[in-house]
Structure 1
Amino acid sequence: MKQPLIVEGANIISLFCRLSVHMKKNLPLRPSEIGLLIYTVKSETPVTPIMAANYFKVSKPMIAGMVKQLSATGYLTKTPSEHDRRSYTLTPTASAKALTEEVYDEYFKDMRRLLSGMGEKKFQDMLHLLAEANTLLLEKENE
Structure 2
Amino acid sequence: MDTLIKGADIVSMFCRININTRNNLPIRSSEMGLLIFINQSEEPPSSREAVEFFKVSKPMVAGMVRSLEKKDYLKRGDSPDTNRRFTLLLTDKGKKLVEETTGEYLKSMAIMREGLGVEDYDTLLTLLERANTLMLEEDKNHLSRTTKNR
TM-score normalised to structure 2 length: 0.88
Q: Pairwise mapping of residues 97-112 of structure 1 onto structure 2 (< 5 A)?
A: 97-112=95-110
Partner of 2:87: 89
Amino acid of the residue matched to residue 30 of structure 1?
R
Q: Give the secondary-structure state (helix, strand or coil) at the position aligned to 1:142.
A: helix
Q: Pairwise mapping of residues 26-105 of structure 1 onto structure 2 (< 5 A)?
A: 27-84=25-82, 87-105=85-103
Q: What's the CA shift for 1:86?
A: 5.7
Gaps of 5+ in 1: none
Amino acid of the residue matched to residue 20 of structure 1?
N
* CA distance in 1 between partners of 2:100 and 2:92 (Å): 12
Aligned pair count?
A: 140
* CA distance in 1 between partners of 2:55 and 2:81 (Å): 26
* CA distance in 1 between partners of 2:83 and 2:72 (Å): 22
Q: What's the CA shift for 1:84?
A: 1.9
TM-score normalised to structure 1 length: 0.92
Greater percentage in helix: 2
* CA distance in 2 between partners of 1:111 and 1:117 (Å): 10
Residue 16 to residue 86, structure 1, CA distance change in 2 (3 Å): closer
Q: What's the CA shift for 1:82?
A: 2.5
Q: What's the CA shift for 1:42?
A: 2.1
Deviations 1:27-81 (A, max 9, x none): 3211111111111122212111011111111111110110011111111111121
* CA distance in 2 between partners of 1:100 and 1:63 (Å): 18
User: In percent, how many aligned pairs have the same letter?
Assistant: 41
Partner of 1:23: 22
CA contact (8 A) 1:40 1:47 kept: yes
CA contact (8 A) 1:40 1:90 kept: yes
Q: Could you list the runs of 4 or more consecutive aligned residues of structure 1 that deviate by over 6 angstroms after TM superposition?
A: none
CA contact (8 A) 1:24 1:106 kept: no
Partner of 2:10: 12
